[in-house]
Amino acid sequence: MSRPPDPAVLIVGAGVAGLSCARALADAGRPAVVVERARGVGGRCATRRLGEQPVDFGVAFLHGRDPAFLAALAEVPATALPGWPLAARGAGRPCQPEAFTPGELRLAFAEGVSALPKHLARGLEVRLRARATALAPEEGALRVALDGAGEARAPTVVLATAPEQAAALLATVPGELPAVASARALLDLSRSRACLALLARYPAATPPPPWHVCFPEGSRVLQVAIHDSAKRPGAPALVLVLQGHTAWSRAHLEDPGWPAALLEEAGRWLGPWAARPEHQEAHRWLHARSDRSAELSGPVLLALPGGARLGLCGDRFAPGGGVEAAWRSGRALAARILEEERR
């Protein structure tokens, strides 16, 4: 059996940054291949089902003000909930404070926030459960080893992953290439913030809270409680998503008792009922978001000896952070790749 031809661009990571880069390239007639370690696309734009009910357990809603990004959201074939969350309680600090500033548009999708990455991925070649484990320059290209999926090769490789994941891949490049060393130094400036998240479903008789999001002001454990079922018309069950503060999450990543501690804190701030779900599912986000202190104004495209190119994009490679920044960085990197190819 003959080997498939090498793509012009190989993108590691099927989050919003990688998918927006691939989408822009495809729209310009330059298809790319995307490889993703997970079993689905979207990264932190993650939706899980509890029974038949969708639950967003990473990004709770989308927000932005870039006209192009807002236009992309309007194209998603899903039921938009403009302005969500419409009711907030508490004076604690939101994960993305700018989402509540004047001029910022907020929305959710009744089908789940994963509707955005699924829409971006439509028609693209995305290889799931293909974890990139090593990079090596090879005759004007970069070879990418894929755990359990052989390898892939392309003259341009884009790393659209968390900074720590991208740095780990770059550490596998043999030799001392100045461009790779510069990229690793750049990535070392940023660290991802962890978040422990708990999906909690409550008995049918539980009255729904009057808020969509609650930000406890004095808690060092619970950063936000999200009334996720408020996004689901006719939802059969009340579902909250509880997310821990960054420092607390980092300190308790390996503590098997963290779900109970998060529920106990929810009971303190929301009422005793919040500590007694009938069903719960836990998720550890090791790379929930990038540290904004090392934010860059744009993506990176580096030339390697022999003609290969290496790109870096993600939410830290555009102003503002969050999903909008990830989307913008992917689009900007696609534009740079196309510009370089025209030279």
Q: Which residues, 6+ apart, have CB-to-CB distance to 311 below 8 Å?
A: 21, 156, 157, 158, 159, 299, 300, 301, 302, 333, 336, 337
Q: Count other Cβ atoms within 10 Å, centred on residue 202.
A: 20
Q: Given this model, what pLDDT does residue 274 score? A: 98
Q: Given this model, what pLDDT does residue 17 score? A: 98
Q: Kindly give the confidence (pLDDT) of every residue in the chain, 343 residues in length, as a single tens digit, with 9 standing for 90 and above.
A: 345 677 899 999 999 999 999 999 999 999 999 999 999 999 999 999 998 899 999 999 999 999 999 999 999 999 999 999 999 999 888 877 788 888 899 999 999 999 999 999 999 999 999 999 999 999 899 999 999 778 999 999 999 999 999 999 999 999 888 999 999 998 888 788 999 999 999 999 899 999 999 999 999 999 999 999 999 999 999 999 999 999 999 999 999 999 999 999 999 999 999 999 999 999 999 998 877 666 788 999 999 988 999 999 999 999 888 999 999 999 999 999 999 887 7
Q: Which residues, 6+ apart, have CB-to-CB distance to 231 below 8 Å?
A: 56, 81, 84, 108, 109, 110
CATH topology of domain 9-42+119-189+295-342: FAD/NAD(P)-binding domain (3.50.50)
Q: Given this model, what pLDDT does residue 245 score? A: 96
Residue 148 in 3-state DSSP?
coil
Q: Given this model, what pLDDT does residue 3 score? A: 55
Q: Where are the beta strands (DSSP E) in the chain?
A: 9-12, 33-35, 47-50, 53-56, 62-64, 80-82, 88-89, 105-109, 125-127, 131-138, 141-147, 150-154, 156-159, 192-201, 213-214, 222-227, 239-244, 279-290, 300-303, 309-312
CA atoms of 129 and 132, how far apart (whole Å): 10
Helix (H) or strand (E) holding 313: none
Both structure tokens of 264: 């106990």
Count of residues making up the chain: 343
CA atoms of 133 and 12, how far apart (whole Å): 10
Where are the chain's structural domains? 9-42+119-189+295-342, 49-65+82-107+192-290
Give me the CATH code for the 49-65+82-107+192-290 domain, please: 3.90.660.10
CA atoms of 211 and 215, how far apart (whole Å): 10
CA atoms of 339 and 325, how far apart (whole Å): 21
pLDDT in tens, 292-314: 666 788 999 999 988 999 999 99
Q: Given this model, what pLDDT does residue 84 score? A: 97
Q: Given this model, what pLDDT does residue 2 score? A: 46
Q: Given this model, what pLDDT does residue 1 score? A: 39
Exposure on the CB side of residue 293, measured as CA atoms within 13 A: 7
Query: What is the distance of C-alpha 55 from the center of its chain?
Result: 15
Find out whether 224 and 288 touch, Cβ atoms under 8 Å.
no
CA atoms of 209 and 64, how far apart (whole Å): 27
Residue type, 183: A
pTM of the model: 0.94
Q: Given this model, what pLDDT does residue 4 score? A: 62
